[in-house]
């Protein structure tokens, strides 16, 4: 026992108006201000799956989507991998198309970014595609800005370089990453992610191994301490916030 167990639920209710609304992000006293503070937000079933028929949007509740928008409202940029964009039509912005929008960042290795068909973005939302120098980015009418970066040893985009450029040239101080599993894994395994916001949906999806992804996909990670920062419950859905500092090998 590392301490006495605390019963979290049931408990006398301590209601709050909205999850994460009062959260200060990035937190004061972060270590590395040379890159954006990176938070990852994903939803998972109880059996670790992140998508129903390939679409993550079907897994979380309306509260989960509201929580996602709360985090987006604090972020300077919202980043996803191109595979997530190809999987379904999605928005990376806020509800009010007239208000300020976070920069939408699409990371791609292949250059296949179907912005026209799959990205719902109003005129006020800028779109930035991050791609390796030697890859042709295919798009039709909508012409996003394209940020060219080096490849890392795995022939993916160099994420450390990407984050530094987002910080210096795009003034991104808080970067929200919404998957997919490969991009999240790459950031965590390279010690470039600071927090994981994990929604645990009260669902069991089944499926055989390899059929459905979990929140992370990549090499086996070296286990480290991860700290639960807060937990919220709405209905039967848990909203968990974890600090990933121990993955920073340079600590």
Judged by CB under 8 A, the chain residues 40 through 69 that form the site for its own copies are 44, 46-49, 52, 61-63, 66
CB-nearer residue toward its own copies: 16 or 33? 16
* Other Cβ atoms closer than 10 A to 218: 15
**Chain centre to alpha carbon of residue 118:** 18
Task: Tell me which of 25, 146, 234, 248 binds its own copies, using CB under 8 A.
Answer: 234
| CA atoms of 227 and 244, how far apart (whole Å) | 7
Closest distance of CB 43 from its own copies, Å: 12
146 or 214, CB closer to its own copies? 214
Nearer to its own copies, 108 or 186 (CB): 186
Three-state secondary-structure class, residue 64 = helix
Question: What's the residue count for the chain?
Answer: 251
Least CB distance to its own copies at residue 196 (A): 7
| Residue 4 within binding range of its own copies, rule CB under 8 A | yes
Decide: is 239 part of the binding site for its own copies (CB under 8 A): yes
- CB 182, min distance to its own copies, A: 9
φ, ψ of residue 176 in degrees (nearest 5) = -100, 125
Q: By C-alpha distance, which of 102, 36, 109 is closest to 75? A: 102
Q: Whole-angstrom distance between the N-terminal and C-terminal Cα of the chain?
A: 26
Contact partners, residue 88, CB within 8 Å, separation at least 6:
54, 55, 56, 57, 118
Least distance from its own copies to the Cβ atom of residue 68, Å: 14
CB of 75 to its own copies, least distance (A): 20
**Please, how many CA atoms are within 13 Å of residue 133, restricted to the half-sphere of its CB?**
6
Q: For its own copies, which is the closer residue by CB, 9 or 134?
A: 9
Contact 190, 159 (CB under 8 A): yes
| Closer of 68 and 188 to its own copies (Cβ) | 188
Residues of span 192-221 touching its own copies by CB under 8 A? 196, 198, 200, 202-221
Provide, rounded to whole angstroms, the least separation between the CB of residue 60 and its own copies. Answer: 12
Nearer to its own copies among residue 135 and residue 233 (C-beta) = 233
Applying CB under 8 A, among 189, 190, 245, 248 the residue interacting with its own copies is: 189
User: Cα 78 to the chain's mean position, in Å?
Assistant: 7
């Amino acid at each position: 026992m590392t301490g006495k167990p605390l019963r979290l639920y049931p408990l006398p209710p301590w209601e709050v108006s909205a999850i994460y609304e009062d959260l200060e992000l990035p937190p004061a006293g972060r270590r590395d201000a040379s890159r954006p503070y990176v938070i990852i937000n994903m939803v998972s079933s109880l059996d670790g799956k992140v998508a129903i028929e390939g679409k993550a949007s079907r897994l979380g509740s309306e509260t989960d989507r509201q929580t996602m928008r709360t985090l987006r409202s604090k972020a300077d940029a919202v980043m996803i991998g191109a595979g997530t964009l190809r999987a379904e039509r999605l928005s990376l912005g806020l509800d009010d198309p007239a208000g300020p929008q976070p920069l939408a960042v699409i990371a791609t290795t292949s250059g296949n970014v179907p912005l026209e068909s799959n990205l719902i973005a109003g005129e006020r939302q800028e779109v930035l595609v991050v791609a390796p120098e030697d890859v042709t980015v295919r798009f039709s009418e909508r012409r996003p800005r394209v940020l060219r970066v080096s490849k890392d040893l795995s022939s993916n985009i160099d994420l450390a370089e990407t984050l530094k450029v987002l910080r210096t040239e795009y003034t991104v101080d808080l970067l929200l990453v919404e998957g997919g599993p490969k991009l999240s894994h790459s950031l965590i395994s390279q010690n470039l992610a600071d927090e994981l916001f994990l929604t645990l949906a009260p669902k069991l999806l089944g499926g055989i191994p390899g059929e459905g992804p979990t929140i992370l996909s990549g090499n086996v990670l070296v286990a480290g301490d991860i700290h639960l920062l807060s937990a919220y419950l709405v209905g039967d859905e848990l909203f968990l916030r974890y600090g990933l500092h121990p993955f920073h090998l340079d600590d």
